[in-house]
Structure 1
Amino acid sequence: MNLKKLPMSSVSGALVLVLYVGLAKISYLLYPSFFGPRGNWLSDLGSNQLNPHGAIYYRLAGILGGLVLMFFFIGLKDWYKGQKDKSRIFMTIAQLFGVLTSLAFAMTGFFSEDNLVPHSFWSVTNYICFGTAAFFVGFALLYHKDVPRLFSVFCFILAIVDIVSGVYGKTYWLEWLVVFMLLVFVASVSYITNRHLKQGR
């Protein structure tokens, strides 16, 4: 496979998944006690107090994942061609919030859970911006012939769950669900963007 021929969103999206899941897995394996959605926030993996040997890996997952995620959202420009003005505007808004969420994601790694106030601020910002970005991606591609309508429905559900989790979420499992849905979103956009460009050639 020639990576040079793959769209930016597809390459960077795949790299985000590898970086985040891979580094989070290493951090999880180094966690000194039981870790799961019934009693832990995912950010507990990045706590120097709770995970002294593995915290750096989860923090790197946020920092590096956030930086690469920025290219993922910038790459959504590939959907501009042949789109109506309204769809292009929606996608541009999604990109703007995507860049914001990328920066917020990186900052959650820079400020670990040990520094709770800034970490919480950037975490909430990350969830709200990511949910908003997903919402506008769903709207931008709602009537696109190459994209199943079900994908937009998923984006709308993700946006609601994501923002609710960021603003009101006080349960561990909800955060785990949101992160899983966000990973599915990145994987889905990476796939459909690559398929869309192949069909357009």
Structure 2
Amino acid sequence: MPLVLPDLSKVPITGLSGIAAILVFCLFSGISIASYPGGFTPIDMWLGDYGFPDINPAGAAYYNLGSMLTGLLLIVFYTGLYQHSVASPARTSLRTAGQAAGVFSGISLFIAGYLTPAVMPGNLIASYAFFALTFLAIIFLHMAFRSRPFYSEATACMGLASVALIVLLGVTQALASIEPIVAEWCALFALISWIGLTSRDSYRRARGRCHD
């Protein structure tokens, strides 16, 4: 059976930018992790630690550049959600609020990569802002899109899982005796999954497999 590739001219901007954001983040983070002299360790090392030039001289630039590019792609991803009709003024306002929070989360991620983790407290503030704004973006978009045909049950569940993990990350971060490193990795994995599922839903909607 011949391989049939999708017509990219018919793929919505959210679908393209969302998948591109996942690929860019995973590629550049993977190169950075592979370049780290101490090896891969999600148990006792924050993902952002791979962006420190002092401890990852060969790979920090890849991680920080990947963060900047991913931030730009997330801006496009959230902006493209205007194509989803939500049928009521209240939901439209929620969608707009979610898009705005998402765009600013992308800007925060770009700033975090630009400053690099070695620049404190700027990088730390930008990183906190990224998670906080992502939390708001998913909450608002979930409220705007829930029960709509184009927003699948799997996407909704993964969005709620992302929100729960971000809350867990924030709560454990506030407790000095707990290092929520694993929670950060899990939150990012859930967020990447939600972006991927939302991109898939946008593509299915554009192909006419589901309707507003």
Give the TM-score taking structure 2 as reference length: 0.88
Match of 2:185 in 1: 176
Match of 1:33 in 2: 38
Instruction: Give the Cα separation in 2 of the matches to 1:139 and 1:153.
Output: 13
Match of 1:43 in 2: 48
Moved more, 93-102 or 191-200: 191-200
Instruction: Give the Cα separation in 2 of the matches to 1:2 and 1:145.
Output: 23
Deviation string, structure 1 residues 25-49 (Cα, Å, up to 9, x no partner): 1111100013311110000110001
Return the offset for 1:145: 2.3
Return the offset for 1:152: 2.3
Return the offset for 1:149: 3.6
Instruction: Give the Cα separation in 2 of the matches to 1:21 and 1:87.
Output: 33
Instruction: Give the Cα separation in 1 of the matches to 2:18 and 2:180.
Output: 28
- Determine if contact 1:138/1:153 at 8 Å carries over to the other structure: no
Return the offset for 1:168: 4.4
Q: Secondary structure at the match of 2:108?
A: helix
Q: Secondary structure at the match of 2:183?
A: helix
2:106 counterpart of 1:97: no
Instruction: Give the Cα separation in 2 of the matches to 1:54 and 1:22.
Output: 12
Instruction: Give the Cα separation in 1 of the matches to 2:95 and 2:31.
Output: 35
The letter for the 1-side match of 2:145 is L
- Percent identity between the two aligned chains: 23
Return the offset for 1:136: 1.3
Q: Secondary structure at the match of 2:207?
A: helix
Match of 1:114 in 2: 118
Matched positions, count: 200
The letter for the 2-side match of 1:117 is P
- Determine if contact 2:150/2:202 at 8 Å carries over to the other structure: no
Moved more, 148-157 or 88-97: 148-157
Match of 2:28 in 1: 23
2:152 counterpart of 1:143: no
The letter for the 2-side match of 1:49 is D
Match of 1:73 in 2: 78
- Determine if contact 1:123/1:166 at 8 Å carries over to the other structure: no
Return the offset for 1:116: 2.6
Instruction: Give the Cα separation in 2 of the matches to 1:59 and 1:133.
Output: 23
Return the offset for 1:153: 3.5
Instruction: Give the Cα separation in 2 of the matches to 1:168 and 1:124.
Output: 13
Q: Secondary structure at the match of 2:20?
A: helix
2:205 counterpart of 1:196: yes
Moved more, 106-115 or 51-60: 106-115
The letter for the 1-side match of 2:134 is F
The letter for the 2-side match of 1:188 is L
Segments of 5+ residues of structure 1 without an aligned counterpart are none
Segments of 5+ residues of structure 2 without an aligned counterpart are 1-5, 174-178
Match of 2:11 in 1: 6
C-alpha RMSD of the superposition? 1.7
Instruction: Give the Cα separation in 2 of the matches to 1:19 and 1:104.
Output: 17
